Amino acid sequence: MSSLEQMYQQVILDHAKHPHGRGLVDHGPGDLLQGESHQVNTTCGDEVTLRVAVAPGAAGIGGTVESVTWEGQGCSISQASTSVMTELVTGASLTEAARLDALFHDLMSSRGRGLGDDDEDVLGDATAFTGVSQYPARIKCALLGWAALKDSLVRSGALVSTDGLR
Amino acid sequence: MTTTATVRPGDPARPGDPTAVGHGAELSAAELAAVRADFPLLGRTVRGGRPLVYLDSAATSQKPQVVLDTEVDFYEQRNAAVHRGAHQLAEEATIAFEDARASLAAFVGADPGEIVWTPGATSAINLVAYAMSNATLGRGGVEARRFALGAGDEIVVTEAEHHANLVPWQELCARTGATLRWIPVGDDGRLDLSDLDSIVTERTRVLAFGHVSNVTGAVAPVARLVAAARRVGALTVLDACQSVPHLPVDLHALGVDFAAFSGHKMLGPTGVGALYGRRELLEAMPPVTTGGSMVEVVTMEATTYAPPPQRFEAGTQMVAQAVGLGVAADYLGELGMGAVAAHEVLLAEELLRIGEIPGVRVIGPSNVGVGPGGLPDRLAVVSFVVDGVHAHDVGQVLDDRGIAVRVGHHCAQPLHRRFGIAATARASASVYTTTDEVGAFREALAGVRAFFSVN
B163 touches chain A (CB under 8 A): no
State how far residue A42 is from chain B, nearest Cα, in angstroms: 9
Angle (CA) B318-B320-B322 rounded to 5° is 65
Relative orientation angle of helices A94-108 and A76-89, to the nearest 10 degrees: 150
CB atoms within 10 A of CB B209: 25
Are B153 and B302 found together in one domain?
A: yes
**Domain limits for position B200:** 72-331
State how far residue A2 is from chain B, nearest Cα, in angstroms: 9
B453 touches chain A (CB under 8 A): yes
Give the tens place of pLDDT for each residue, A77-127: 999 999 999 999 999 999 999 999 999 999 999 999 999 999 999 999 999
Task: Provide the domain count of chain B.
Answer: 2
> Would you say residue B8 lies in a domain?
no
Using a CB-CB cut-off of 8 Å, the residues of chain B touching A45 are 408-409, 413, 416, 422-423
Global ipTM: 0.88
Buried b (16+ CB within 10 A) or exposed e, A10-20: ebbbebbeebb
Q: Are B286 and B339 in contact (CB under 8 A)?
A: no
Are B321 and B403 found together in one domain?
A: no
Are B265 and B392 found together in one domain?
A: no
Q: Is B411 a catalytic residue?
A: yes
> Would you say residue B10 lies in a domain?
no
Are B150 and B276 found together in one domain?
A: yes
B50 touches chain A (CB under 8 A): no
Pairing of strands B235-239, B258-262: parallel
Distance from C-alpha of B155 to C-alpha of B175, rounded to nearest angstrom: 13
Using a CB-CB cut-off of 8 Å, the residues of chain B touching A13 are 452-453
Rounded average pLDDT over A54-77: 91
Give the tens place of pLDDT for each residue, B1-59: 343 333 333 333 333 444 445 455 789 999 999 999 999 999 999 999 999 999 999 99
Per-residue pLDDT, A3: 84
Per-residue pLDDT, B216: 98
- Identity of the residue in A4, A13, A47 whose CB atom sits nearest the CB atom of B396: A4
Are B327 and B343 found together in one domain?
A: no
- How big is the A-B interface in CB pairs under 8 Å? 53
Find, in chain A, the residue whose alpha carbon is nearest to that of B411: A43
Are B83 and B229 found together in one domain?
A: yes
B418 touches chain A (CB under 8 A): no
Mutate to test the interface with B, among A1, A2, A4, A17 (most CBs of B within 10 A): A4
Rounded average pLDDT over A128-135: 95
> What is the three-class DSSP state of B87?
coil
B65 touches chain A (CB under 8 A): no
Helices (H) and strands (E) in chain A, counts: 6, 3
Distance from C-alpha of B43 to C-alpha of B45, rounded to nearest angstrom: 7
Give the tens place of pLDDT for each residue, A6-42: 899 999 999 999 999 999 998 988 899 999 999 998 7
> Would you say residue B3 lies in a domain?
no
CATH number at residue B438: 3.90.1150.10
Per-residue pLDDT, A42: 79
Using pLDDT thresholds of 50, 70 and 90, give the confidence band for residue A49.
Answer: very high
Domain final residue, candidates B299, B314, B331: B331
Mutate to test the interface with A, among B215, B393, B394, B455 (most CBs of A within 10 A): B393
Name every residue in A having a CB less than 8 A away from some CB of B: 2-4, 7-8, 13, 43-47, 73-77, 135, 138, 141
Domain final residue, candidates B296, B331, B366: B331
Are B251 and B322 found together in one domain?
A: yes
Rounded average pLDDT over A44-71: 90
Which of B167, B306, B411, B421 is flagged as catalytic? B411
> Would you say residue B196 lies in a domain?
yes
Are B89 and B131 found together in one domain?
A: yes
- Delineate the domains of chain A, giving CATH numbers in brackets: 3-153 (3.90.1010.10)
Find, in chain A, the residue whose alpha carbon is nearest to that of B406: A44
State how far residue B421 is from chain A, nearest Cα, in angstroms: 10
Per-residue pLDDT, B370: 93
> Would you say residue B132 lies in a domain?
yes
> Would you say residue B13 lies in a domain?
no
Per-residue pLDDT, A165: 53
Are B56 and B86 found together in one domain?
A: no
CATH number at residue B226: 3.40.640.10
CB atoms within 10 A of CB A164: 17
Domain final residue, candidates B297, B331, B365: B331
- Identity of the residue in B48, B397, B423 whose CB atom sits nearest the CB atom of A44: B423
Are B102 and B207 found together in one domain?
A: yes
> Would you say residue B372 lies in a domain?
yes
Distance from C-alpha of B243 to C-alpha of B236, rounded to nearest angstrom: 16
Q: Which residue has the higher pLDDT, A3 or B413?
A: B413
Point out the residues of chain B with pLDDT beneath 50: 1-20, 22
Are B357 and B324 found together in one domain?
A: no
- Identity of the residue in B392, B397, B451 whose CB atom sits nearest the CB atom of A141: B392
State how far residue B248 is from chain A, nearest Cα, in angstroms: 32
Query: Mind spelling out the 3-state secondary structure of B241-309?
Result: CCCCCCCCCCHHHHCCCEEEEECHHHCCCCCCEEEEECHHHHHHCCCCCCCCCCEEEECCCCEEECCCC
- Identity of the residue in A4, A7, A73 whose CB atom sits nearest the CB atom of B422: A73
Are B113 and B182 found together in one domain?
A: yes
- Identity of the residue in A13, A43, A135 whose CB atom sits nearest the CB atom of B452: A13
Per-residue pLDDT, A166: 44
> Would you say residue B400 lies in a domain?
yes
Using a CB-CB cut-off of 8 Å, the residues of chain A touching B444 are none
Using a CB-CB cut-off of 8 Å, the residues of chain B touching A46 are 390, 392, 422-423
Per-residue pLDDT, A160: 64
State how far residue B403 is from chain A, nearest Cα, in angstroms: 13
Pairing of strands B406-408, B360-363: unpaired
